[in-house]
Structures are given as structure tokens and as C-alpha cells.
Structure 1
Amino acid sequence: MCDMGQWKQSQHFFEHLLNDSNNNNEDLAKVECSLGEVLQWTGEWSEARKYYNRAYDRMMNIKPTRIKDLAYILFNIGEILYLEGKYEEARDYYERALAMQKETYSS
């Protein structure tokens, strides 16, 4: 749906999944990240950031640590900060994401 530009339908779908109590932490983190993406694409940056932060916090508690997913979330937060004109803060998030990616692919 997102690929077809159906943002509202995608948002409702992900919100429905969040309310499904059968999801585990990893599933919920991925849904929160996806909802953050939808909100980011529709210009709702503060809401998107809220869901990215939730996804990041949830993902931090999953073992083994999902470094690639964490880096992706940090990069997306950096994108929002960049769009908001917060360039220094955005750079910090990009650098954190890059450091995680290097850690993942250097092993």
C-alpha cells in the first residue's frame, strides 16, 4: 500500500496491527517503524519520530540485538531532523547509524 501512495490506508493498517495483542516485541517494533515511515512520508514528522523512538526502545530490548534494524531507525530519525533543519542533531543520528552499520558489516 505504501508503494502505491496509499498512505492513509497504510496508516490505518499499521495502527490496527499495533492494537493486535498477539504481536511480540519484535513484530511491534517493526510495525512502529513502518508507521513512523508512513507518517514521515506524509509530513507528520513529530508523530513519526514518536513511533521511531518507540520502535528503537523496543528493539533495544530484543536479544540478540538487531543492529541493522536499530541503525535503520536512527537513520530515519536523522532524516526527520534534517528535514526540520536540525542539521547538527541529524548528523549525530547519521553517525550513530553509520557506526552501527560498520559494526555489523566489519564482523
Structure 2
Amino acid sequence: TATDKGAEIAKEYIEHQRKELSKTDVSDAFGSFLSDMGEYTKSEKYFKNLLQIHPNDEHTAILYSNIGRALGQKGDYTEALRRYTYAHDIEMNVSRPRLKHIAGSLLGIATIHNWTGKNDLALEFYNKALDTYKKVPKVDQQDIAYTINNIGIVYYDKGDYDQ
């Protein structure tokens, strides 16, 4: 029945969120939940407050990516792109770059380009993200699948159905 189907979907969603939460810093989870609920301004402010508390630690790049996400979802694409790019620059200049975070910032950059209709740039950055995810030890296959799906969406938007 429809009720059973709805309960199954809810169960799958809760399980997915539980897995995601286990991979996430608890302080990040709250800001992400705000974004997921459509509270983009609150999410942005929350992450900016965390940035003031932790301005120069290993978590800084993640905070900038999360701010970029909130800004992008609000439609402030220029500022979102700036934050994602800054997060990427931070990750590239640490003593031990974290490939998963580098890929995540590339994914954010690609998404902003996609949302602004810059398909060729979106493809370039989605492919860079995909290449980086493939280098991550014990990569989460969902990250790779999500990136490939986004590449497919850009090709679809371009009308390049053979790709």
C-alpha cells in the first residue's frame, strides 16, 4: 500500500541520514540539517559562527565549503563560488591534503558552475572531483555515483545524450 511504501522510504531516509551523521562532525551536522530544511541563511550564519570559533584549524576548509553550500542554495552563486574556491585552496596548501575534502570542494565548484549554466566548467570540475574521489582510500561509492550522476545531468542539459 501507499502507507507501507511511505514508511519504507522514510526508513531508508533515516538510515541514510544516520550513516551520513556517523561520517560528520556533530557541529557540522546541525548546520547541514538547517540547509536540508531550507534554512540557508541560518545555516550560513551558523557556519560563520563556527568559523570565528575555529578560524585556523584543520576544520576551516570544511566550514568554508559548508558556507559555500548555503550561499549557493540561497542563489548567491558568486559568493558561493568564492567560498568553495577558498576551501579548495586551503585544502591544497595543508601539509597533508585530504583528498575527500579536496574532491568535495571541487564538487561544490562544479555545482555552482552547473547552476549558472557554465556547463563546460561544470564538466571540468566534476571530472576533477571524480578523479580525486577515485584516489581516496576506501572511497564511499556513493560519492563517486553522485559525481557521475551530476556529469550525466550536465551532458543532458547540453543535449549531448550520447555521453
- Separation of aligned partners in 2, 1:19 and 1:10: 14
* Aligned partner of residue 71 in structure 2, secondary structure: helix
**1:57 and 1:29, CA in 2 relative to 1: closer, same or farther beyond 3 A?**
same
Aligned to 1:48: 80
Q: Considering only CA atoms, is the larger Rg found in Structure 1 or Structure 2?
A: 2
Aligned to 2:131: 99
Offset, 1:37: 0.5
Q: Please say if residues 25 and 62 of structure 1, whose CA atoms lie closer than 8 Å, have aligned partners that are also in contact.
A: no
Aligned to 2:39: 6
Offset, 1:96: 0.7
Higher normalized contact order (CA 8 Å, seq sep 6+, divided by chain length): 1
Point out where structure 1 has 5 or more consecutive residues left out of the alignment. none
Q: What is the letter of the counterpart of residue 51 of structure 1?
A: R
With the length of structure 2 as denominator, give the TM-score of the two structures.
Answer: 0.59
Q: Please say if residues 65 and 108 of structure 2, whose CA atoms lie closer than 8 Å, have aligned partners that are also in contact.
A: no
Offset, 1:62: 2.1
Q: Identity over aligned residues, as a percent? A: 31
Mean Cα deviation higher: 63-72 or 28-37: 63-72
With the length of structure 1 as denominator, give the TM-score of the two structures.
Answer: 0.87
Point out where structure 2 has 5 or more consecutive residues left out of the alignment. 1-33, 140-163
- Separation of aligned partners in 1, 2:61 and 2:138: 25
**1:12 and 1:85, CA in 2 relative to 1: closer, same or farther beyond 3 A?**
same
- Separation of aligned partners in 1, 2:45 and 2:89: 22
Deviation beyond 4 Å, 4+ runs, structure 1: none
Mean Cα deviation higher: 1-10 or 32-41: 1-10
